[in-house]
A and B are shown apart, each in its own frame.
Chain A
Amino acid sequence: MGEELKVRTMAEFMAEGKQPEILFWVGSAGSYDDRAKKITKAFVKILNKANVDFAVLGTEESNTGDVAKRAGNEFLFQMQAMMNIEVLNAYEVKRIVTCDPHSFNCLKNEYPSLGGNYEVIHHTQYIKSLIDDGRLSLEGNTYKGKRITFHDPCYLGRANSEYNAPRDVLSKTNATIVEMKRNKSTALCCGAGGAQMFKEPEKGDMDINILRTEDALETKPEIIATGCPYCKTMMTDGIKFKEKESEISVMDIAELIANT
C-alpha cells in the first residue's frame, strides 16, 4: 500500500473538541486477523482518498458480542453491548461504518433496545454513496472485462436485505459481473456464521466453504468478491483447497476499489 494511512481516534477528535463525520467500527477480525486487516487498510485508503473525516475507537473498541450471542451466550453479548454503548454514547457517536456485516447487523439491529441508537452503514453502502456523491472517483481500468462473481454475506444479504450496494459498486469498475446459481436471497452461506468460524464443523460429507467455492467456480471467475472478513477467509481457504489460488483471487470490495 505504500503511502501512510491517516487514522485518528475518537479520543483525539474529542481533545480537539471536534466530531468526525463518521466512526469506523473496525471490529475484532479487522483489528487482529491478518487477512481481515488488509480489508481494514484498504477501506482506510479509500476513506483517505475521499477525504472523509473519520475516526476509530482504537483501544476503546471491544468485540460487539455478536458471535457470543449467536453461540447462545446472551449474558456475554449484553455485557459487551452495554460496555460499547457506554463508550459510543459518551462520544456522542451518530453514524457508524463497518466492513463486517456481523458487526453491522449487531450494531444496527440489536444495540438499539439496549440504548445504542446509531445510523449504521456497511462499507459497501458507504463506498457506493461516496461514488454517488462524487467524493470518490474510480480511475484506471484495472478490472475492465474481468469476470467477477460476488458472494453475498448472509448478514448483509438475507439478514438485512442489502443485495444491491455491493453489486452497484462492482459495476462501477467496468468488470463483467457473473452471478452464481445461488445468489442474493438464495445465496449459500460460506460456513463461518453462527460462531462456526471458531470451531470445527460437525461431522458431514464436506465443508460448507468447499460447496460454496464450487458454486463460485461454476461461474469461471477471475475474482471472487466478498463483503465480509469471515467470508473472505472461508472462500480463500476454499480456493486453496481446489488449488486455484494462482488463477482466482478472493478480494473484499474495499480491496478491489482501493486498487483502482
Chain B
Amino acid sequence: MEYIPNILFAIILVLGVGYFARNVKKLIRNIKLGREVDASDNKSQRWKNMARIALGQSKMVKRPIAGIMHVIVYIGFVIINIEVLEIIIDGLLGTHRIGLKVLPESIYGFLIGAFEVLAVLVLLAVVVFWLRRNVVKLKRFLSSEMKGWPKNDGNIILYFEVVLMCLFLVMNATDTSFQELGSGNIISQFIAPWFQGMSESSLHLIERSAWWLHIVGILVFLNYLYFSKHLHILLAFPNTYFGSVEVKGKFNNLEAVTNEVKLMMDPNADPFAAPVEGEGDEMPAKFGASDVMDLNQIQLLNAYTCTECGRCTSACPANLTGKKLSPRKIMMDTRDRLEEVGKNIDANNGEFKDDGKQLLGDYISNEELWACTTCNACVEECPVSINPLSIILEMRRYLVMEQSAAPMELNNMMTNIENNGAPWPYNQMDRLNWAKEE
C-alpha cells in the first residue's frame, strides 16, 4: 500500500508526457504537409540567431516595458522548472526534498530562495501583463482577430502562471520542516504565518495538496500548449534557427519559373525534348500558394510559433491606416487552416479529403493580400523571426500566375512592362530623353 502514491505519480507523469508527445508528433506531421525547404546552409549563423533572438530575447527588449516583463517571466519559467526535477524524483522515489540530501544545505537554500524570489517577480509581471490586456487595453490586443478564443487563451495562460506560482509558494510555506530549516524560505517565511494555529496534520495536508496540484498543473499546462498560442515557449527555438539568414529585401526566385523562362529565351531549346530522368520533375503542381500545403515547412512552423503578440500588426502601415490587412491574422489563419487540415486527416484515416475549403478566400481575402506594401516592418518586428510577408507574396503569386486575378491597374502596369519595359505606357526608345531635356 505504501507505494500507491509513487505508482499514481508515475501514471500521471506517463499520461501527461505521453499525451503531449502524441500531439507533438501530430504537429510535426502537420508541418511536414508543407513543401520541403532547404535550410542546411549557414549553420553557425543559424545557431547564433537562435542564441541571440530566442535564448537572449534580443528582439523582445526593443519594446522595453513588455520586453523586461517578458524576460522576468521567461527566466522565472526556465529556472523555477529546475524545481520540477526535484518534484519528479521525489514523486517517483517517495522521498521528500531529495535536493537536501544531495546538496549542501546552503546551496539548496540558495536555489530555493532564488526560485521563491523569481516566483514573486513572475507574479508581478503576470499582473502587469493581465492589466495590459484587460484594463489598459493596448490597441494591439483589441484587433478584430483577437476576439473570442485568442483573447481567452491569452488570459488563461496568465491564470495558469498565477496558480502555479502560488502553489509553489504555499507548498514551501506549509512545509514545517523546510520552514524550521530557515534556509531558502526568503519569501515563504512571510506566508507561513497565514497558516499559524493550524494543526501539524492539516498543514501537512495543505503542503501535500499544493505539491500534487503543482506537478499536475505543470503537466496540464504542458498539454495545454498544443492548443494554445503559448507553443512559442518551445517553438521559438527551432523557429529562430530556421528563420531567414538573408537580407530582408531578398525575395526567393521561383526555380520552376526560371526553368520555364530559360526554355522560352533559349533559341536552341527543344520544347518537345523528353525531360531528363530525375530532373525537372520537381515542378510544383501550381505556382504560389492557395492553401497551407502549398506553403513551405518553415512558413508552417512560423504559424505554430506565433504567440499573437501583434507587434507585427502594430507596425504594419496598411493596418495603421485602417486597412483589413493584419500580418498577425495571416499567421493565425495559416495555423487555423493547418489545424483544420490536420483534423481532416485524422478523421479520414491519414488521408486528406477535399473539404472544399482553402486558406485563400475562406481565411485570407484578396483585399488583405493586395494591401501589403512589402515594407518588411512586420518581419523586422517579430521577436521570434516569423515572416508573414513571405506568405502574402506566395499567395499573390497564386492570384497572379494561376488566376490572373490582380487588380486591374496592376494588370495594366504589368502589360506595360511586357510591351515597353516600363510600368507606364512610354516608348522604350524614349528612355534616354531625360538627358536632352532642360
Q: Do A and B bind each other?
A: yes
Q: Does A74 contact B (CB under 8 A)?
A: yes
Contact: A31 with B414, CB < 8 Å? no
Stretch at the interface among B14-22, B95-103, B329-337, B430-438: B430-438
Q: Does A145 contact B (CB under 8 A)?
A: no
Assuming the A-B contacts A63-B417, A67-B423, A205-B322, are A193 and B375 also in contact, with contact meaning beta carbons closer than 8 angstroms in the complex? Answer: yes
Subset of 21 A-B contacts with CB under 8 Å: A1-B438, A9-B432, A32-B424, A32-B434, A56-B432, A59-B432, A61-B421, A71-B400, A71-B414, A72-B288, A73-B397, A73-B414, A82-B262, A110-B253, A114-B258, A191-B373, A193-B375, A194-B373, A199-B409, A199-B410, A202-B323
Interface residues of chain A, those whose CB is within 8 Å of chain B, are 1, 5, 7, 9, 26, 28, 30-33, 37, 40-41, 44, 56, 58-59, 61-63, 65, 67-76, 78-80, 82-83, 105, 109-110, 113-114, 154-155, 158-161, 185-186, 188-189, 191-196, 198-208, 210-212
CB distance from A203 to the nearest CB of B (A): 7
How far, in angstroms, from A206 to B251 measured CA to CA in the complex?
A: 29
How far, in angstroms, from A37 to B371 measured CA to CA in the complex?
A: 28
Contacts of B320 in A (CB 8 A): 188, 208, 211
Q: Does B260 contact A (CB under 8 A)?
A: yes
How far, in angstroms, from A193 to B370 measured CA to CA in the complex?
A: 11
Contact: A75 with B318, CB < 8 Å? no
Kindly list the 3 A-B residue pairs having the minimum CB-CB distance in the complex, ordered from nearest: A159-B249, A205-B322, A72-B396
Contact: A76 with B374, CB < 8 Å? no
Contact: A194 with B375, CB < 8 Å? yes
Interface residues of chain B, those whose CB is within 8 Å of chain A, are 246-251, 253-254, 257-258, 260-262, 264-265, 287-288, 315, 317-318, 320-325, 367, 370-377, 379-380, 393, 395-401, 406-407, 409-410, 412-414, 417-418, 421-424, 426, 428-435, 437-438
How far, in angstroms, from A206 to B321 measured CA to CA in the complex?
A: 5
* Partner of B406 from A31, A62, A71 at Cβ < 8 Å: A71
Interface centre among B374, B376, B379, B380 (most CB of A within 10 A): B374
Contacts of A191 in B (CB 8 A): 317, 321, 373
How far, in angstroms, from A191 to B373 measured CA to CA in the complex?
A: 6
Contacts of B417 in A (CB 8 A): 63, 65, 67-68, 76, 80
Contacts of A41 in B (CB 8 A): 434
How far, in angstroms, from A212 to B258 measured CA to CA in the complex?
A: 37
B287 to chain A: closest residue by CB: A74
CB distance from A158 to the nearest CB of B (A): 4
Contact: A109 with B250, CB < 8 Å? yes
